Amino acid sequence: MIDLGKSCQLLCAGLALLGAGFAATPWLLGFAYEEAATANSVLSGCALIFAGAAGWFLGPTPFRWLALGIGLWLVLAPWLLGFEPVASAVWANMIVGAAAITLSFRAIAGWTPDGASRPDKARPRRRPMRRA
């Protein structure tokens, strides 16, 4: 496993957990009868799990773009696959898609928990002045 720092690990873990939760939404929200919505949720959830796990173990570079693509797909899928009449499926896709897009943008921008946009450009910590 590559040491990527806690910020990347948090983003990748969040992405994998988001995918796991999304794969279960047809049964949790009661739209398992809609084949297109169920297949989309399970396959897209598994793809998010893959992107998060692969980003954790192999580094985030290609997988953050994969997560962005999956997020955009989730936002458009209800209309492209024709399950827009199922409100719970549409809302689940919108919320998870927006979350995946947000996480991928944060990974693309190189977000770190201490507020610096990139670890290599983080401000050095001030050292207290020594009294003579």
Global pTM? 0.77
Polymer length of the chain: 132
| Contact (Cβ atoms closer than 8 angstroms) between residue 99 and residue 18 | yes
pLDDT band with cut points at 50, 70 and 90 for residue 124 = low
Mean pLDDT (the chain, rounded) = 83
Whether residue 3 is predicted with pLDDT greater than 50 in this model: the reply is: no
pLDDT in tens, 76-123: 999 999 999 999 999 999 999 999 999 888 877 775 554 454 444 455
Q: Which residues make Cβ contacts (< 8 Å) with residue 109, sequence separation at least 6? A: 117, 118
